[in-house]
Amino acid sequence: MGNGLKRTPLHGRHAALGARLVEFGGWEMPVQYAGIVEEHRAVRTAAGLFDVSHMGEVEVEGPGALASVQRLITNDAGRLAVGGGLYSPMCLPSGGIVDDLTVFRTGERRYLFVVNASTADKDFAWIAGHTVDAQVRNISAGWGLLALQGPRAVAILARVTRADAAALPSFHIITQAEVAGVAGCFLSRTGYTGEDGFEIGCPWDQTPRVWDALLEAGRSEGLTPAGLGARDTLRLEAAYMLYGNDIDETTTPLEAPLGWTVKLEKGEFIGRDVLVRQKAEGTARRLVGFEMTERAIPRHGYALRADGGPAGTVTSGTFGPWVEKSIGMGYVARAHAKPGVRLGVEIRGKTAGAVVVKLPFYKRS
């Protein structure tokens, strides 16, 4: 290993494809193959295949599984039928976000959490610490995970599985699917790009077989391997939160634009008291999206200004390869959190103009 970083089962494939590898959350991951812009456009127009095997999986099973899931997340898992899923923050008592994740009901009394790589160990400890009357298993080491994303994803996947992926509704999961001859895979209609697509879980050692089959099946459809660089620009155009940048333990779902995931009426859950109060009083600050009005690129950590004074910090920023604009997000005081408000971004000692816009920056038609 040498550098002490963890490797996914596809490390050799990435190296052979000429990927540029970088550290991410303790893992050595491909940031790009052909180039971020090319991969980004491929996902918007055809399809991209991402290795996201670094992400974590935690299973909760037993009589107390549903009650435990409901205690842990802000969204409402109570209405999920087997095969259903949702996106949710998982909060501290302070309302700060431990992680954002997807949860699927994979059995009558079994739930699967798919969590961020950098927080996987913390999440497992938190979930285990607040689960009552159910088993909690960190199964991350057993599962490789691929994200097949883009308008051609359905057609490509149909070539390597008999599972009816085309009929799978958004945020639903098929377990025990056979994909590329590999039994025991799962398929969920989820992603982090703003496009239609799937996440495909496979037994760790079998992941290269599924990867190879998908690339082969997608060749005539314009499928390209895509790295974390394009994943970041795609998710930012779609205004998905990046944990550790846009949200963390010091921000709440109501400060972030995640109010739609907070179901106060479902009953007690961790962080509810603070969120009830924030909902009643309104939060002092909010995460907004902005576009630059002059040629400059906002980056994570740059200072924001409004009305001649400090206004906050950029949490994410990039040049959006599809929207072809410089875009960013950051927390500002409530008074500045309205579309049309003029902001300044401090870039190398100068203030560049920006304007608050409605999120997302990109929505597929």
Partner 1 sequence: MYPDDLRYSSEHEWARREDGRVRVGITQFAAEKMSDVVFIELPQVGAKISFMQPFGVIESVKAVSDLFAPVSGTVVEVNTVLASTPEVVNSDPYGQGWIILVDPADPAELQQLMTAEQYRKVVGGAGA
Residues interacting with partner 1, by CB under 8 A?
A: 31-32, 35-37, 229, 232-233, 295-297, 299, 318-319, 321, 326, 348
Q: Rounded to whole angstroms, what are the CA distances from 118 to 54, 214, 236?
A: 9, 27, 19
For residue 317, the minimal CB distance to partner 1 (Å) is 11
For residue 81, the minimal CB distance to partner 1 (Å) is 41
d(CA 105, CA 85): 6
Pick 99 or 246: Cβ nearer partner 1: 246
For residue 349, the minimal CB distance to partner 1 (Å) is 11
- Per-residue b/e over 181-193, b at no fewer than 16 CB within 10 Å? ebeebbbbbbbbb
Pick 309 or 349: Cβ nearer partner 1: 349
Q: Which one-letter amino acid corresponds to residue 298?
A: P
Pick 34 or 158: Cβ nearer partner 1: 34
Q: Which one-letter amino acid corresponds to residue 220?
A: S
Pick 53 or 318: Cβ nearer partner 1: 318
Asked whether 60 and 108 are in contact (CB, 8 A), the reply is: no
- Evaluate the omega torsion of the peptide bond into residue 257 and state whether it is cis, within 30 degrees of 0: no
Pick 140 or 318: Cβ nearer partner 1: 318
* Strand (E) or helix (H) holding 257: none
Phi, psi values for residue 206, rounded to 5°: -90, -5
How buried is 195 (Cβ within 10 angstroms: 0-12 exposed, 13-18 middle, 19+ buried)? Answer: buried
Pick 17 or 37: Cβ nearer partner 1: 37
For residue 38, the minimal CB distance to partner 1 (Å) is 8
Q: Which residues contact 250 (CB under 8 A, 6 or more apart)?
A: 96
Pick 269 or 361: Cβ nearer partner 1: 361
For residue 20, the minimal CB distance to partner 1 (Å) is 8
Asked whether 154 and 165 are in contact (CB, 8 A), the reply is: yes
For residue 351, the minimal CB distance to partner 1 (Å) is 14
d(CA 274, CA 270): 9
For residue 315, the minimal CB distance to partner 1 (Å) is 16
